[in-house]
Structure 1
Amino acid sequence: MINIQTFTQKEIVAYLDDLAQLRISVFREYPYLYDGSLVYEKEYLQTFVKAEDGIVVAAFDGDQVVGISTGLPLAQEPDEVIGPWKAHDVDRIFYFSESVLAKAYRGQGIGVQFFQEREAWARKLGFTQAVFCGVVRPDDHPLKPADYLPLDRFWQKRGYAKKEGYFAKMSWLDRGEAEETTKVLQYWWKAL
């Protein structure tokens, strides 16, 4: 039986290694193709340990972390994430940082719960919009699996829509690359 738990700040410290490992594992898959390190991931997750209004939603199978979903106020993100939203009242926008779920647990409603928990948290704090972004890869990318299905329909069923013309640019090391390259990520948004 899968157990979904919500954590804030220091409550996640006990799970940092597991959360970091899961992020590395899932983000290695297409479309992110991320070649991450445990050191970087644990440092990144400190953002949620320190963020007063941040949230981490984790899925457990027994004691094993099998999914993680995070979020925090957009105003607390770096400039490359805030980017095109600067013309808006960023203090009213909650940013969903990521959702990662081990392959064996997909299609069981856990992703839906991740969105529900983060949206409920954002509403409780008085936010009026939720946004996130997903990496954009060319349709003919050589590492794209033949059976790959983008998450667009899943996000649309949750009430999210692409925010046309709103993109973030982030750099990371892809699998098989010698140095980081810049990726473009498309924003999606929803009124809460």
Structure 2
Amino acid sequence: MSGISIKHLPGPELGPWLADLARLRITVFRDFPYLYDGTAEYEEKYLQTYLRSADSIVVLALDGDKVIGASTGLPMQDETEEFQKPFMDQGYDPARIFYCGESVLLRDYRGKGIYKEFFLGREGQARKLGRFDYCSFCCVQRPDDHPLRPADYVPLDAVWTKFGYVKHPELKTSYSWKDVDQAEETEKPMVFWMKPLAAEGGQ
């Protein structure tokens, strides 16, 4: 990771980086599987959640002064009801779950160990706060025959499993956004992955 630095930023201090992070998210999420046709205005509004959460964290990856990657996390209780409901329906207490939001990394910087730093940073925050049993994140579910699925696309399931996360098909929800090839927003199925935080350190 020569020339690349990792910065752990409390969410309420995100303000000066807001525009950079919004642009990065739009760029990365435009690719499969999200195919997200986003706007800076919406992204900056969405990221206010992290500014408002006293215990949120943003892990920034910088190449010099350029933001080339970022990952977000916050207590599940600080997220919206649609994030919390699948857990409550399955008997989990959202107050005991730290939600690992999205990780975005420019293509040229992948495969350099930065993605692991994102997970370590967020899990470290959850352990430091000391009131969580699990870390969790969610991902979109796209059909294998989706017309915009690249021939060389490889899901990250094996990576997430290596980091200690387990897919929980019973924890599911749906979110709406506009795909790059669609005129209107449509709902997408999402599924959650979880990792117990009982064991310190390591993945």
Identify the TM-score tier after normalising by the shorter chain. Answer: over 0.9
Of residues 166, 171, 180, the one that matches 1:166 is 171
Aligned length: 192
> Which of 97-106 and 5-14 deviates more?
5-14
Of residues 115, 129, 137, the one that matches 1:111 is 115
The residue that corresponds to 1:13 in the other structure is 15
The residue that corresponds to 2:162 in the other structure is 157
The residue that corresponds to 2:92 in the other structure is 88
What's the offset of the Cα at 1:90? 1.1
CA contact (8 A) 2:174 2:188 kept: yes
What's the offset of the Cα at 1:88? 1.0
CA contact (8 A) 1:69 1:99 kept: yes
The residue that corresponds to 2:46 in the other structure is 44
> Which of 17-26 and 162-171 deviates more?
162-171
Instruction: Supply the distance in 1 between the matched residues of 2:53 and 2:168 (Cα, whole angstroms).
Output: 26
The residue that corresponds to 1:33 in the other structure is 35
Instruction: Supply the distance in 2 between the matched residues of 1:10 and 1:133 (Cα, whole angstroms).
Output: 23
Could you report, residue by residue, the CA deviation over 1:2-40 in whole angstroms, capped at 9, with x for unpaired residues? 100011133211111110000000000000000000000
Q: What SS is found at the alignment partner of 1:116?
A: helix
CA contact (8 A) 1:69 1:100 kept: yes
Instruction: Supply the distance in 2 between the matched residues of 1:160 and 1:46 (Cα, whole angstroms).
Output: 27
The residue that corresponds to 1:122 in the other structure is 126
How high is the sequence identity, in percent, across the aligned residues?
A: 52
The residue that corresponds to 2:200 in the other structure is none
CA contact (8 A) 1:35 1:173 kept: yes
Per the normalisation by structure 1, the TM-score is: 0.98
CA contact (8 A) 2:12 2:53 kept: no
- What residue identity is the alignment partner of 1:145? P
Q: CA RMSD in A?
A: 0.8
Instruction: Supply the distance in 2 between the matched residues of 1:110 and 1:90 (Cα, whole angstroms).
Output: 28
Per the normalisation by structure 2, the TM-score is: 0.93
Q: Which runs of 5+ in 2 are unaligned?
A: 198-203
- What residue identity is the alignment partner of 1:186? V
Question: Measured at CA, do residues 85 and 152 of structure 1 come closer, stay the same or move farther in structure 2, by a change above 3 Å?
Answer: same
Instruction: Supply the distance in 2 between the matched residues of 1:153 and 1:48 (Cα, whole angstroms).
Output: 28
